[in-house]
Amino acid sequence: MATTGLPNWPWTGAEADALPVAERMLIDSARAWAAAARQGQPALLAVRRLLATEDAMGAAEPLDALLRTLAQHPLTLGCPLCPRLVGEEPALLLAVSCAQRGPRREALACLLRRLPPYQAYAATAAAIALGCAFRRAGLKLGDPWSA
C-alpha cells in the first residue's frame, strides 16, 4: 500500500470526543503516556491506569513498546485535553487499526513513513500485539478507510 500521496489520512483533524470507544482509548492512552514521559513520571504506569478502565491492561506493554520505538524520532502527541487529533495521532490510529484488522503490510507501510526499516518492523510487531490485546478486551478498531 502506498501511503504517500493520500489526499487525507484517515482521522486527520478528527475531534477526539467524537472517536469510537476503541480509538478514543488508544489516543487517550498514547496521550497519557506522552504526558507522563514529559513530566518524568513512569509512562507505563499512567497507561496501565487508563487501560484498566476497559479491562485492557494487557495492552499496556505493547503500547509502551510501540510508543518508545516511535519516540526515537520526534513524536508529536496531543495533551490529554486536546480537542482534536494532532501530530502523529492519526497515523498511530491507522497503523494499529491496520495491524488489528489484518492488512499488516499496510501497518508496516504506515510505520515505514516515520521509521527506518528495522525500527518499523519492531514497531509493527508491537502494533500487532497491541491490536490483539485491544481485541481480547473487546476494543475493536474501526475500518480506517471509512473514518
Written in H, E and C, the secondary structure of the chain is CCCCCCCCCCCCCCEHHHCCHHHHHHHHHHHHHHHHHHCCCCHHHHHHHHHHHHCCHHHHHHHHHHHHHHCCCCCCCCCCCCCECCCCHHHHHHHHHHHHHCCHHHHHHHHHCCCCHHHHHHHHHHHHHHHHHHHHCCCCCCCHHHC
For the beta carbon of residue 143, count every other beta carbon within 10 angstroms. Answer: 10
Q: Give pLDDT, residue 117.
A: 95
More reliable by pLDDT, 139 or 8:
139
Q: Are 47 and 27 in contact (CB under 8 A)?
A: no
More reliable by pLDDT, 103 or 40:
40
Segment 43-56 shows an average pLDDT of 94
Q: What is the model's pTM? A: 0.90
Segment 9-26 shows an average pLDDT of 89
pLDDT of residue 5 exceeding 70, the answer is: no
Angle at which helices 43-51 and 60-70 pack, to 10 degrees?
Answer: 140
More reliable by pLDDT, 62 or 110:
62
